């Protein structure tokens, strides 16, 4: 495996670890809020979001160990993260929520971010 792919795989592994830390923090915060404040609305959707994120991360880890190509894994994780963040924004109130900053932090008129992956010959990019 060439150096660039090994570095990309290392970054993906770090991203998976970071994802687990963030979603565990979200789940713990949800649990504390439920215990302390007993909200009127159910917070089960947040737990479901956490379980889905853990399952996606396990699937990413399996892909990381079984697939040789790194680029499809990058796209899969970016799309998955976009779904998770969109779910979080939706659960917290959509555009009226302060959490929409997670989804779109470039400019208020921009409705989402686009990830750009530079390719170096693999897909014909330069």
Q: Which domain holds residue 43?
A: 3-103
Please state the domain count of the chain. 1
* pLDDT per residue as tens digits for the range 35-55: 888 888 888 999 999 999 999
Q: Which pLDDT band, with edges at 50, 70 and 90, does 76 fall under?
A: very high
Mean pLDDT of 9-27: 92
Q: How far is CA 15 from CA 57, 85, 113, 119, 124, in A?
A: 10, 14, 18, 20, 26
Q: 84 is written with which tokens?
A: 């998770």
Q: Would you tell me how many other CB atoms lie within 10 Å of the CB of residue 90?
A: 15
| pLDDT > 90? residue 107 | no
Please check whether residue 34 is in contact with residue 58, taking contact to mean a CB–CB distance below 8 angstroms: no
DSSP3 helix / strand / coil % (the chain, rounded to 5): 70, 0, 30
Residue 39 domain-assigned? yes
| pLDDT > 70? residue 19 | yes
Q: Which pLDDT band, with edges at 50, 70 and 90, does 95 fall under?
A: low
Residue 12 domain-assigned? yes
Residue 58 domain-assigned? yes
| pLDDT > 70? residue 103 | no
Of 79, 97, 77, 75, the closest CA to residue 88 belongs to 97
The residue with greater pLDDT, 30 or 114, is: 30
Position 59 scores a pLDDT of: 96
Residue 123 domain-assigned? no
Residue 61 domain-assigned? yes
């Amino acid at each position: 495996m060439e150096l660039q792919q090994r570095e990309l795989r290392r970054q993906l592994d770090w991203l998976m670890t970071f994802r687990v830390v963030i979603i565990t923090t979200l789940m713990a915060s949800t649990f504390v809020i439920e215990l302390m404040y007993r909200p009127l609305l159910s917070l089960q959707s947040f737990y479901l979001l956490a379980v889905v994120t853990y399952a996606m991360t396990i699937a990413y880890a399996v892909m990381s160990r079984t697939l040789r190509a790194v680029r499809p894994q990058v796209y899969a994780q970016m799309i998955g993260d976009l779904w998770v963040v969109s779910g979080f924004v939706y659960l917290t109130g959509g555009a009226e929520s302060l959490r929409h900053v997670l989804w779109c932090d470039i400019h208020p008129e921009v409705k989402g971010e686009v990830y750009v992956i530079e390719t170096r010959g693999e897909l014909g990019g330069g």
